[in-house]
Homo-oligomer: A and B are copies of this chain.
Amino acid sequence: MSNHPPRSTIADVARHAGVSKATVSRFLNHRDTLLSPEIARRVEAAIEALSYTPSPMARALKRGRSRLIGLVVADITNPYSVAVLSGAEQACRQAGYLMMLFNLGNERERESVGLQVLSTYQVEGFILNTMGLEQGAVLTPALRGRPVVLVDRLHQGLDVDFVSLDNRQAVDACLDHLMAAGYRDFLFVSEPLGAVSSRIERIRAYETRLAALGAPATGWWIEAGAGDPAGLARALRDLRAGARRPPAVIAGNGVVTMRIVAAVAELGWRLGPDIGLIGIDDTPWAPYVGPGISAVAQPTDALGSLAAQCLIERIGGLAVPARTIRLPGTLMARGSTRLEP
């Protein structure tokens, strides 16, 4: 249990350099202001000698700023969230911020608690990737006026920067690809819509595009939760039964893609010839499942780092109206959307 020497404080540095604490502080924070080179040198040497690092805690207490960014995620277990997190974390680090993580573990009600806790630690801003369940109004007080950026999911009544996939483009890419591949009958499968804006947007985009396609194409959509795999299989069977030729399914996200793959395996169908499948969200496994699963890959890293950048700009005081950034997905065509075996 070796007792470590306490970290050196600004007072130690001051003493070592034979100056006052104020001078050291000045050296640290306002190197630009007048400061005799001689003294500066001494302070610098002292800092070096004592390997002094300012305490962010004390700083935060005094200035109200903490160099901390709070990240609230619906479910850290979701690879999409992690991918975004990873991009954001990198950007934060580069800007000298540290990330404080609060995972909701899919307990939606914990969202305002999360914000509260994080504000209590004086985080300077929030990146939110949650269910969007709680209205902006209930969240706002917990935010305590700190800037926020939303990723992938909007909150009603929270008029802040928003970074997300261009859902229209992504869904259009799916449908156009399927049409080009020869499919004509479609089913869009989404996780339960709830209040999750991205899910809703994707359904809307699907309906819109379908309508534009006109007569030759037919399409429905369903919600499929984790609870009812049999229901999903049934829906697929109905779909195929009602179609003139092999139909195609669009999966609203990576989780749904998995469920559909499972259901299709269960049914003993071949992906591609028996039923087309394309999903939003690409995964490392996609190329190796069956004939390869077609997908629209999200630029997750870019989404995360843009979110962080937006937030950091806001923290820096940028005062423009709320921005919306939409990034396009990129189509990865694989065997699951080839009619010919």
Residues of A within 8 A of B (CB): 1-4, 7, 53, 55-58, 60-61, 66, 68, 76-77, 79, 82-83, 85-86, 89-90, 93, 98-103, 105, 116-122, 141, 144-145, 258, 261-262, 265, 283-285, 287-290, 319
CA distance A53 to B58 in the complex (A): 18
For A258, the chain B residues whose CB sits under 8 A away are: 284-285, 288
Residues on B with beta carbons closer than 8 Å to the beta carbon of A289: 285, 288-289
Q: Give the distance in Å from the alpha carbon of A99 to the alpha carbon of B70 in the complex.
A: 11
Q: Write 26 A-B pairs (CB below 8 A) sorted by A numbering.
A: A1-B319, A2-B145, A3-B145, A4-B145, A7-B119, A53-B116, A55-B122, A56-B120, A56-B121, A76-B89, A77-B82, A77-B86, A79-B79, A82-B82, A90-B103, A98-B118, A99-B100, A99-B102, A100-B100, A100-B101, A258-B284, A258-B288, A262-B288, A265-B288, A285-B285, A285-B289
Question: Do A101 and B77 contact each other (CB < 8 Å), given the known contacts A258-B284, A285-B285?
Answer: no
* B residues in contact with A53, CB < 8 Å: 116, 120
B283 near A285 with CB under 8 A, answer yes
Select which of B60, B89, B105, B319 is within 8 A of A103 by beta carbon: B89
CA distance A319 to B61 in the complex (A): 33
